[in-house]
Amino acid sequence: MDKIRGFHQSLVGADEEQEEDFLGEFSGSCSLSPVQSLIVFYRPVKFAVLFSFGNLLAIGSTAFLIGPVQQTRMMLDPVRFYASAIYVGSVVLALICALWIHNKVLTLIAIISEICALIWYSLSYVPFARRMVSELLISCCDTEI
C-alpha cells in the first residue's frame, strides 16, 4: 500500500494534501468540484444527449444479452407495458428537446422525466417493488389537514 501511495504522490505531487476516505483510498484526485457536479444545470443539452444515448445503449446491451425478440417481449409484457412506453418516450422526448428544440428548460424537464421513468421501469423487474414504492410515497405525502 505504501508503494501505491508513493507512486500516487509522485504523479499528483508530494506537496498536495490528500484526504483519505473510509476505504483508505485517495478521494481528492477523483472528486468533482461544485461547478463540475452541477454541469447538468449549466449544459443540460450535452448531458441529455449523453444520458439518453447511454440509456439506449443499456437497452441495446440487454437486447444483445437476451436477444431482441425476448427483450421486446419483456418490454411489451402487460405488467411493464406502460412503464416501458413512458421510458422509451421520455428518452425520445429528451433527445428531441436537446437536439431539435435547443431549449434548456424543456431539456431539464425531459431529463427529470427520463430519470423518473428509468427508475419506474427498473422497478418493474423487481417483484412488488413498484407497489412498495407507491405505498411508501403515498404514506410520506399523505398529510391530513
What are the sequence ranges of the domains in the chain? 2-31, 37-141
The DSSP secondary-structure symbol of 59 reads H
What amino acid occupies position 3?
K
pLDDT < 50 regions, the chain: 7, 11, 14-18, 21-23, 26
Q: How far apart are CA 28 and CA 115, in angstroms?
A: 28
Length of the chain measured in residues: 145
Q: What is the per-residue burial (b if ≥16 Cβ within 10 Å, else e) of 78-115?
A: eebeebbebbbebbebbbebbeeeeebebbbebbebbe
Distance from chain centroid for Cα 115: 6
- pTM score, whole prediction: 0.68
